[in-house]
Amino acid sequence: MTTHACPARSGPGRLLLALCAALLLAAWAVPSARAGDGLDIKPGLWQVTTTTTVRGSLLPPAMLEKLSPEARAKLQAEQRKIEAAGPQTQKSKSCVKPEDLTEGAFRPDDSREAGCKTTYLAQTRSVQEATTECKGDNPRTTRMRIEALGRDRMKAVLSATTPNGSMNAEMSGQWLAAACNDEDEDDDAQ
């Protein structure tokens, strides 16, 4: 399953985009402890609307330190543009597979990373909520909450905080079809 709703697709913001995309993927996480605990939504093609607000830098301090002064200045200028633009809203199409819902395939990627600990706050068929704390070279705290508003509608909230910035994303999803193909998924559906 993919979602795309981050700013700056090229230029110095690429590193920011990569981290932002990873954090948004965590928003779709279905933190199942065992099969059958997944969110009770229909598998298939979904239209997802995401509004994202970014403040400061989401990049790990260690990565920022490795940049040349010129590259860091360009990145900081790009981050200021993103922040000044305010919330950005995009639509995308995503494919949810049955195994994604029953096997916990959408656990936050953070939970698989060394130095990260995920705490599940709610695991029902209507609400999935988790907080992930990461230490080490890429310290951050991520909190996500997904709610099934019916089998064909969902909403989610994700917040991520790093030592130098934060990101908040609100998502709403509408089921479109039972089947989906690779060409159904897109990066910039408007």
How do strand 88-96 and strand 116-123 relate by DSSP bridges?
Answer: unpaired
Is the confidence at residue 10, as pLDDT, over 70? no
- The pLDDT value given to residue 172: 95
Across 127-149, average pLDDT = 89
Give the integer Cα–Cα distance in Å for 102 and 63: 36
- The pLDDT value given to residue 110: 52
Using DSSP, state whether 15 is helix, strand or coil.
helix
11-180, CATH topology level: Lipocalin (2.40.128)
- pLDDT tens for residues 65-87? 888 999 988 988 888 888 888 89
Contacts 24+ apart (CB under 8 A), 18-23: 19/58, 19/59, 20/52, 20/54, 20/58, 20/167, 22/109, 23/58, 23/142, 23/158, 23/160, 23/167, 23/169
Measure the CA dihedral 17/20/25/31, to 10°. 160
Q: How confident is the model at residue 47 (pLDDT cuts 50, 70, 90)?
A: very high
- The pLDDT value given to residue 171: 93
Does residue 106 or residue 3 have the better pLDDT?
A: 106
The full set of domain ranges for the chain reads 11-180
Across 46-50, average pLDDT = 94
- pLDDT tens for residues 113-132? 778 888 888 888 888 888 99
The residues pairing with 88 across neighbouring beta strands, listed in sequence order, are 52
- pLDDT tens for residues 17-39? 444 544 554 444 434 333 346 78
